[in-house]
Chain A
């Protein structure tokens, strides 16, 4: 149930505590990357039906950015990790 998110720092919290920033699956282009790359990053979305990665910002809690993996059809949440931890794992 995506109306409850288990923050790795704060525990189970209602979605009202979060600002949801959307797609967390793609990295930010470099400043001098092409217009197309930036257009893609800012405006275009895969918008999957099923599993998706999203940034949730715990504004009314620890104020950390989290990466939430959940299903857009069933609202099931599979995992919640701190965004920094997520980036470290991706770099590995």
Chain B
């Protein structure tokens, strides 16, 4: 069913009783051309583009829980392309452009809101670093603006400009950046993939990878063995565990990142604001809740929950940046498990096994990448050839000495 003003009116007049489920609930077939492990945003977008752009229709997505139970439904929904390195910026900008056409493409409201992302700076050195980042963006054709303190005060009056340790001197703004409704992104891609014939199979955990003569022939699952021509991993924080089933050794550590939502407030925060003094970021959802988070908990973790010390630290940072936050009640907090790569950038590549493909290492920035990740991964799976904007994101970059290290932190995942 396509959504339109007409379909809305017709369904409203019939008491909203005739809406159809967004995707089928098929039983697995015995064999697929491509099986994708992981029904998160990336697995679903990969399936969608495989079927729609590259004509590979006999595809299944296997998800151990329900759709959107992973990080696609746990993140703080920020989409932006304000990266600095040439290996990253064209990729994230490709994603940004796909976001801008996504609702029309999917015929689905993912509530993309280009409200602007402002990253604050607190010292002359940090200002220089942001000028450099802005210039790097312009060199890839992406608009960036430096906002000086006085101008920023007019736009965002409620920040703590005169903090003794972290005075706010200005910010770097990307106007086209913003947020999107994360669940809707998963649902929209799922519906789109389903309409192109992809089987989405929920509550189906992959427990083993079967190989014969050095190639993958299928997967063992909680719903039995399912054969495949190609196997694609998009399992976010569990990549090491799934990879282990095929003896892959990966440059990953799993870490937990927490997020928080407050009670609903009247509109008060117009942008996404990122605190350069720490790692705090905040925006206001369309329902009015303030959505925020900060750094990872610090040690590797598979628990989908974090520790209280980090929660307190996040609150401290938030109140340092916006003193008024101290009077707002937090309603919910949760954690997501992400695979942190050794340079903080993602991996989209083939593996040492010819028909096994890898999409991982999204750290805590992979939501914005959902469209480009799916597109480039589908390109790779369909053509056995890396998409031009994902060339720098190959697995062998560590061995070759071409790490894509945005933070300049070296091979230590908890510092990215």
Determine if B218 is an interface residue (Cβ-Cβ < 8 Å): no
Which one of A25-33, A43-51, A79-87 is at the interface?
A43-51
CA distance A40 to B411 in the complex (A): 12
Residue in contact with A73 in the complex, picked from B250, B303, B308, CB distance below 8 Å: B303
* B351 CB–A CB distance under 8 Å: no
A-B contact count (CB 8 A): 75
**Interface residue from B307, B342, B399, B412 paired with A1 (Cβ < 8 Å):** B307
Query: Which of A15, A44, A49, A74 contacts B251, CB < 8 Å?
Result: A44
Chain B, 300-349, CB within 8 A of any chain A CB: 300-303, 307-310, 313, 339, 342
Q: How far is the CB of A71 from chain B (nearest CB, A)?
A: 9
- Shortest Cβ gap from B273 to chain A (Å): 24
Main secondary structure of the interface of A (DSSP, over half): mixed
Closest residue of chain A to B412, judged by CB? A22
What is the minimal beta-carbon distance from B134 to any residue of chain A, in angstroms?
31
Instruction: Kindly identify which residue among B252, B302, B303, B307 contacts A45, using a CB–CB cutoff of 8 Å.
Output: B252
Bound complex: CA A75 to CA B241 (Å): 18
CB-defined interface of B341-377 with A at 8 Å, one 1/0 digit per residue?
0100000000000000000000000000000000000
Near A by CB (< 8 A), chain B positions 391-416 give: 398-399, 411-414
* A22: chain B residues within 8 A (beta carbon): 253, 300, 412-414
Counting contact residues on chain B (CB < 8 A from A), the size range is 20 to 34
Flag whether A21 is at the interface (Cβ < 8 A): yes
A23 and B411 alpha carbons, distance in the complex (Å): 12
Q: Is the CB of B253 within 8 A of A45?
A: yes
Say yes or no: is A6 at the interface (Cβ < 8 Å to chain B): no
In the complex, chain B residues whose CB is within 8 Å of the CB of A1 = 307
> Residue of A at shortest CB range from B397?
A43
A47 & B252 in contact (Cβ 8 Å cutoff): yes
* Candidates B254, B313, B414; contact of A72 at CB < 8 Å: B254
Chain A residues near B412 (CB, 8 Å)? 21-22
Q: Are B250 and A47 in contact (CB-based, < 8 A)?
A: yes
Q: What residues of A have a CB within 8 angstroms of the CB of B249 in the complex? A: 40, 44, 46
- The reply to whether B307 and A52 form a contact with Cβ atoms under 8 Å apart is no
In the complex, chain B residues 149-187 whose Cβ is within 8 Å of any chain A Cβ:
none
B19-34 CB contacts (< 8 Å) to partner A: none
Residues in B neighbouring A14, C-beta threshold 8 A: 309
Q: Is the CB of A45 within 8 A of B251?
A: yes
- What 0/1 readout, one digit per residue, does chain B (120-148) give for beta carbons within 8 Å of chain A? 00000000000000000000000000000
Q: How far is the CA of A7 from the CA of B252 in the complex (A)?
A: 27
| Pairwise interchain contact A43-B298, C-beta atoms closer than 8 A | no
Asked whether, in the complex, the Cβ of A39 is within 8 Å of the Cβ of B399, the reply is yes
Q: Tell me the B residues contacting A by CB distance below 8 Å.
A: 240-241, 249-254, 298-303, 307-310, 313, 339, 342, 398-399, 411-414
Q: Give chain A's interface residues, CB within 8 Å of chain B.
A: 1-3, 14-16, 20-23, 35, 39-40, 42-47, 49, 52, 54, 70, 72-75
Q: With A1-B307, A72-B299 given, can you name 20 additional A-B contacts, CB distance below 8 Å?
A: A14-B309, A15-B298, A16-B309, A20-B414, A42-B342, A42-B411, A43-B251, A43-B342, A44-B249, A45-B250, A45-B252, A46-B249, A47-B240, A47-B253, A47-B339, A49-B302, A72-B301, A72-B302, A72-B303, A73-B301
A-B contact pairs, 10 of them (CB 8 A): A3-B308, A20-B299, A22-B253, A22-B412, A42-B411, A44-B251, A45-B342, A47-B339, A74-B303, A75-B303
